[in-house]
Amino acid sequence: SQKIEQNSEALNIQEGKTATLTCNYTNYSPAYLQWYRQDPGRGPVFLLLIRENEKEKRKERLKVTFDTTLKQSLFHITASQPADSATYLCALGVNTGFQKLVFGTGTRLLVSP
């Protein structure tokens, strides 16, 4: 069956460290993968998109990798800050002839001062 898995347990790290979040999937062939940030009571906000032919994408303190062999994406936040505390969602872009994103359940990140 098709599945997208993100660690359901919260990730707790100290300020200044690098946070690494994982997104694994099975039985999908995504054309691209997106990462979103969601704060409590708010809608998700787009962060980064990486395509199937790209290995890595960076934006300021954020880095995403995409390994289609391992069927995994890693999302890194370097020099993390308490303001980075939020839930992070991965979403697979599936080729169906129209736009379809399939979301993971998200991982909550808590950055302590």
Partner 1 sequence: DVKVTQSSRYLVKRTGEKVFLECVQDMDHENMFWYRQDPGLGLRLIYFSYDVKMKEKGDIPEGYSVSREKKERFSLILESASTNQTSMYLCASSPDRDSPLHFGNGTRLTVT
Name the residue with tokens 């787009």. Answer: 46
Residues 109/86, Cβ–Cβ less than 8 Å: yes
The residue from 12, 26, 105, 112 that contacts partner 1 (CB under 8 A) is: 105
Nearest approach in angstroms of CB 99 to partner 1 is 4
Nearest approach in angstroms of CB 87 to partner 1 is 10
Chain mean position to CA 32: 12
User: CB neighbours of 101 closer than 8 A, spacing ≥ 6?
Assistant: 34, 91, 92, 93, 94
Name the residue with tokens 């990486």. Answer: 50
Residue 42 as a binder of partner 1 (CB under 8 A): the answer is yes
Sketch the per residue contact string, 81 through 100, with partner 1: x for CB under 8 A, - otherwise. Answer: --------x-x-x----xxx
Q: Which is nearer to partner 1, 15 or 52 (CB)?
A: 52
CB atoms near residue 60 (< 10 Å) = 8
- Residues near partner 1, by CB under 8 A: 4, 8, 31-32, 34, 36, 41-46, 49, 89, 91, 93, 98-106
